[in-house]
Each structure stands twice: as structure tokens, then as C-alpha cells.
Amino acid sequence: QKEVEQDPGPLSVPEGAIVSLNCTYSNSAFQYFMWYRQYSRKGPELLMYTYSSGNKEDGRFTAQVDKSSKYISLFIRDSQPSDSATYLCAMKKTSYDKVIFGPGTSLSVIP
């Protein structure tokens, strides 16, 4: 079993839709959870950073962490064509630890 699993997609949605992206993980030691967005041929860009369980909202983005289920989610409201990218979940055990990435989900938002 991989440490972090993520549906690779591709996921295609119409503009304005609510997008739900998810990851599951196996190691209960993970405490810090991130979502990165990566455009083609670019480096990852940090979108959301959360610690432990709970929700965090930033504009159109909401991150949820359920440590009891080892499940994290990213919701994108009012999706835009510019949101078309690969979304990578990531996590680490301590603040200064190496980051373990999921395989990424490819998202296309159709105008």
C-alpha cells in the first residue's frame, strides 16, 4: 500500500462547479497536511496548509482533514478555467520533516 493515495483523474467539470479532491493515507503519524497546485511544466504552488484535524478556508478553497479516517479533502467553489491544473496532496510528520506527496489529480474546468 502506498503511503499516500489519490485518484489521478483526469477530472473534468464545467465552469462554476464545486470540485472535491481527496487523498487517503496510511501513516497515522502525519500531522501536517498541504495541498499544492501544479500547472504543466511548472513547480508546485502551495494552496493550503493545515495542522491536525479540522477545516480551513481561503477564498474559494476549503481544506478538510479527518485524521481518524486518514482522509483529507480540498474543495474548490465556483471553479474557473484557470483552476485547470494538477492538484497534489502532501503531508509530513513534523514541521521540519520531508514532505510526502500523493500522485496528484489532474483537473480540467471547461468554460
Closest to another protein by CB, 76 vs 88, is 88
CB of 47 within 8 A of CB of 35? yes
Work out whether 43 is an interface residue with another protein (CB under 8 A).
Answer: yes
Work out whether 35 is an interface residue with another protein (CB under 8 A).
Answer: no
Work out whether 45 is an interface residue with another protein (CB under 8 A).
Answer: yes
The number of angstroms, rounded, from the C-alpha of 55 to the middle of its chain's C-alpha atoms is 13
In the three-class reduction of DSSP (H, G, I as helix; E, B as strand; rest coil), residue 33 is classed as: strand
Q: Are strands 100-101 and 105-110 parallel, antiparallel or unpaired?
A: unpaired
Q: Which residues bind another protein (CB under 8 A)?
A: 8, 32, 36, 41-46, 49, 51, 88, 95-96, 98-104, 106
